[in-house]
Chain A
Amino acid sequence: MNRIDKHPVLNTTQDRKKVNFKFNGETQRGYENEPVSSALIANGVREFSVHQVEDAPQGIFCANGQCSHCTLIIDGKPLKSCITPLKEGMEIRTLIHLPELPPDDREPENFKPLNLKCDVLVIGGGPSGLTSAIELAKLGFEIILIDDKDKLGGKLLLQTHKFFGSIEDCYAGKRGIEIAALLEKEIRTYSNIKVFTNTSVAALYKDKKAGLFIDYKNYALVDFQGLVISAGAREKNLVFPGNDIPGVYGAGAFQTLVNRDLVKSSDRIFIIGSGNVGLIAAYHALQAGITVVGIADILDDVTGYKVHADKIKRMGVPIYLKHTVLTAEGNGKVERITIAEVDDSFNPLLEKAKTFEVDTLLIAVGLSSIDEFYNTAVNFGYNTVKTGDADEIAEASSAMFGGRIAGLQLAKILGKDVEIDESWFAKAEILKSKPGKIKSEPVVEINENYTPIMHCYQEIPCNPCISVCPSGSIKLEEALGNIMDLPYYTGEECTRCGMCIAVCPGLAISVAKKLYGEWAEVVLPHEFIPAFGVGEFVTLTDTEGNEIEKCEVIKIQLNKKYKTYLITFKVSLENAAKIAGIRVQDEDKIKPLPKPVFNYIPDNSILCRCERVSVGEIIKFIKENNIKDANQLKQIRVGMGACGSRTCSILLPRIFSAAGVNWYEVTQATKRPLSIEIPMGAIINEESGETE
């Protein structure tokens, strides 16, 4: 079984009930109520269905209930396996082409329509939705909060790493999973917040009602006075040959499998995109015992935080800048991927290709706001606010703070007399900040006293190190006058308590001291279960991952509060200030094949995944028919699938421009409800048990 049984942060010994199920006739085991898709991946299944176009194998893609690639025949019905909980005795089959409708001809009884009522409907129980619901609840509003997962917290539930930001405003230094638990606990204390998990909004209607698909079983109409749109974001996709084969999916899907469901989905992964999502996915993979062969980014610099990138590099993951993915190839699943350097116009240089053997390619090229609900709400004239990633893509720290503001703003719109502290808006802006200037690495003198060394010299909104230092001897520079400023050590009061080392989300603080002669000791953070003992020698690196020397481990301690090991090494004095991290991945595991192996036919890339329409087909259709309206692409099925073009519409500008059409002259395709497919039986609440 491909399960994660050891993890430095997550509890892998959860008491979960094992169940048996059948997949294509063979008995397999999984955990009760875990998503069927995760149970299958843990059993090594990669192919979920066979598309009627070209018999193409389909694997997991969004793991988020949005696409329909994981559809399987479960107990006779075609269901999305990533939102179907596993039960004892389930009969599961690969879906081949179109499903057969089960001949269930029982006469339906007339069941009660479900009607709900609230003051405010909050769509999305992630960081921003939860904090806005709390603010609104404090003011006495009756709230319905819905989320499409079984636990509240949104993407916080996937974030096993410590957060940036500030402790006072957004729990900096705590892990996303811990913050989710805190927020959920707070939410549950308000009797005026009704929570519906496993619930999706299917549509917002003109007559001021929302259609909810509750527990993926029942359909309810809810009346509301105001709406908070905190529906988050969806992962952007990329167009390249092989982008549709099982094993190519988003970083978010990966984090779901690994961090939420504790499934070891891969052995070797490659990541496209060096934003914070890609960088952190690499970190999560390493913590789950998965080899990260590399990260590529088409730009000439890392787009995420430098401390994140440096941390990953120190662990031994190469970042290939100015590189793009050429192909993902393999027989029915990813077996190898090829990247190539790009020229200044971002065209790949095929002669500079490198092929890597991996089983998974993660796409982490950014997020796009889920904006359709907000647009509809505005169009219908509802009282509405949007917040979090649904408003603007930023860190969860910013979403939590922004959510509070959004909640109060809606309260004001709904007529409550509330004041919003002016300083909050400034803070919100800072928390949303993109990384700022990179300053030069300061030279630190090592002496007989403990000295904290900050390997942190890019401006980012983060300051927990100054909050945890008991002697107050870490301070921020006063260049900008906010938490974007860089931290520095003020003097001589360091007691080596280790709090700053353990709290730093970037693992960017070491503490060093001269021992004797030409020797020094350095204390480094380590968020892995140590694979070494005292007395062993370990490869240490500088801030950016260059190997410095192999050093002896002299002490291993665990900081329980921050679940971070502090490892003390005996190092040479001259290197003590430079040493910043511990290599965890061997170099020989991440090398490309001696010669690249690939077949690059860009037109074969799939744009519309639901209906399997290729880039080549679309470009030809646009050119031949002088297409100026994206709705016309529906003639060749683009956007007609389950996701309603929510996955591919973001890729269309590139395709139109490749066909020689200026995107700004193209009419965009209409997005219509439903945003999730609902069985007819659920619309009339056949399973609710209450008859009319």
Chain B
Amino acid sequence: MKKYDVIIIGAGSIGVPAAYYLANRGLKTCVIERLSSEGRGQNRAAIGGIRATFSDPAKIKICQMTIDIISRFKKEHGIDVDWIDGGYLFPVYDTVLEDKLKKLLDVQKQFNLNIDWISPAKVDELVPGINRNGLLGGTFSPEDGSASPLKVTGAYLKLARECKAEFYFDEEVTGFEKDGSKITAVITNKDKYSAGIIIDASGAYARDTGNLYGLDIPVDPDCHEAGITEPVQPFFRPMVVDLRMDEQSANYYFYQNKEGQVVFCITPRPQIFGKDTDNTSVFLPLVVKRMLNLYPRLRNLRIRRTWRGLYPMTPDGFPIVGRTKEIGNLFLAVGMCGQGFMLGPGLGKIISELICDNTTDYDFILNQLSLYREFAGTEVLK
């Protein structure tokens, strides 16, 4: 049996950064991943947005840490992860949404977030050529931005390996051995491992992993489809989020990445639950119609690729983070609800501090994101 200080299940948005921060603190760390390389679960499907402008203290704190890390990543580690501080823009075309967002602004400002209401002219300046017909303005948060999930996760893998973290790819966790309230061994299809602490970062598969160690983890993935265009010269900077709904879809969002490609994603309505990531015919006509109505200039931009990814949803739209009562050496970092990429770096750092330093600084996060909460509320801006 191989022995580690920490075993992380899942080499995705959460597991890979966590492995780096833990290994960097000197813990003997390994990551077990059923797929062949890092980020091949849902990280590969993330489009790259990173924002801290939420309305709850936990996600705000975690993502502020992520922005801090990612915006300095090149300087600190010498690796370009395509960070762009383009901000997040929520354009508004109806007074109901205007009221809702303005009310939210009051809450967000209490957390000292840099976000404000902007005029239609300012919206047009940020997204030249956006449909002005009925545009009332929008909220804009200039400190939010984007980065390449592919490059961020690849960079963390490299850094983690440099700190002697070990990665077992193409290896699936098939069971756990327990002694009372402690996991004594993680069993895979290839080997057996033990560690002082086991971090479950199994993303869309959290419910399945939970079944293996005997806890009901309320994570059920739903499907979202995304696409990317050819690259063109930069023509707009922010992540544009259209919160309106139509018969078949809820919100959709898009931005232009550092390569010049526009990346976009839509939320189907009603949600499609399951783990099927095959493309369907519904997506393109649906998302394109909506995007062109909002931003006609995209009409000549050619779509290059499309894909489907999973949002590991919890009943209330918030992640599950922290130790469990039933199993003393199990730490959960699951149910990121489609925001794993932006939560990952900050959360990885927090997990390393929680494990190494016994800090109480993040108790408010652990309380809010506890497995034992009510799961009653819903996230305002999912």
Contacts and interface: CB of A to CB of B under 8 A. Distances in A.
A560 B211 CA distance: 79
B326 interface: no
A236 to B, nearest CB: 23
A17 B38 CA distance: 57
B285 A219 contact: yes
B301 A105 contact: no
Contact of A635 (B151, B280, B281): B151
B15 to A, nearest CB: 16
Interface residues of B, number: 50
A672 B307 contact: yes
Nearest to B291: A680
B291 A631 contact: no
Given A221-B281, A635-B151, A680-B229, 7 more contacts: A103-B297, A105-B297, A205-B279, A379-B278, A642-B230, A642-B304, A667-B36
A679 B300 contact: yes
Contacts of A518: none
Contacts of A681: 292, 299-300
A322 interface: no
Contact of A628 (B37, B133, B161, B284): B37
Interface string B231-245: 111010000000000
Contacts of B299: 104, 108, 679-681, 686
A586 interface: no
B248 to A, nearest CB: 12
Contacts of B300: 77, 101-102, 104, 679-681
B16 to A, nearest CB: 12
A101 B297 contact: yes
23 contacts: A101-B300, A104-B297, A105-B296, A105-B297, A107-B131, A203-B306, A205-B278, A205-B281, A206-B276, A219-B284, A219-B285, A380-B278, A628-B37, A635-B150, A635-B151, A637-B259, A642-B230, A672-B306, A673-B306, A674-B306, A679-B299, A679-B301, A680-B298
Interface of B: 36-38, 40, 44, 128-129, 131, 133, 150-151, 154, 157-158, 161, 169-170, 229-233, 235, 259-260, 276, 278-282, 284-285, 288-289, 291-293, 296-307
Contact of A677 (B157, B285, B297, B303): B303
B306 A628 contact: no
B36 A99 contact: no
Interface in A664-679: 667, 672-674, 677-679
A99 B158 CA distance: 34
Interface string A377-391: 001100000000000
Report, as a range, how many residues of chain A touch the other chain: 35 or more
Contacts of B285: 113, 219, 221, 683-684
Which of B161, B284, B285 gathers most chain A CB within 10 Å? B284
A-B pairs, top 10 by smallest CB distance, nearest first, are A681-B299, A629-B37, A667-B36, A677-B302, A206-B278, A629-B36, A205-B281, A105-B129, A209-B281, A683-B288
Interface in A83-134: 97-108, 110, 113
Interface in A624-672: 625-629, 631-632, 634-635, 637, 640, 642, 644, 667, 672
Given A679-B300, A683-B285, A101 B306 contact: no
A102 B284 CA distance: 22
A111 to B, nearest CB: 9
Contacts of A379: 278
Interface string A42-82: 00000000000000000000000000000000000110000
**Main secondary structure on A side of the interface with B:** loop
Contacts of A625: 154, 157-158
Contacts of B229: 677, 680
A637 B150 CA distance: 10
Nearest to B283: A205
Which of B259, B293, B304 gathers most chain A CB within 10 Å? B304
Given A679-B302, A680-B303, A631 B280 contact: no
A422 interface: no
A98 B260 contact: yes
Given A629-B40, A674-B305, A634 B233 contact: no
A311 B285 CA distance: 54
Nearest to A643: B304
Given A206-B278, A629-B40, A680 B233 contact: no
A526 to B, nearest CB: 48
Given A99-B232, A631-B40, A104 B281 contact: no
Given A106-B296, A219-B285, A683-B288, A631 B44 contact: yes
A674 B284 CA distance: 10
A101 B158 CA distance: 36
Contacts of A209: 281
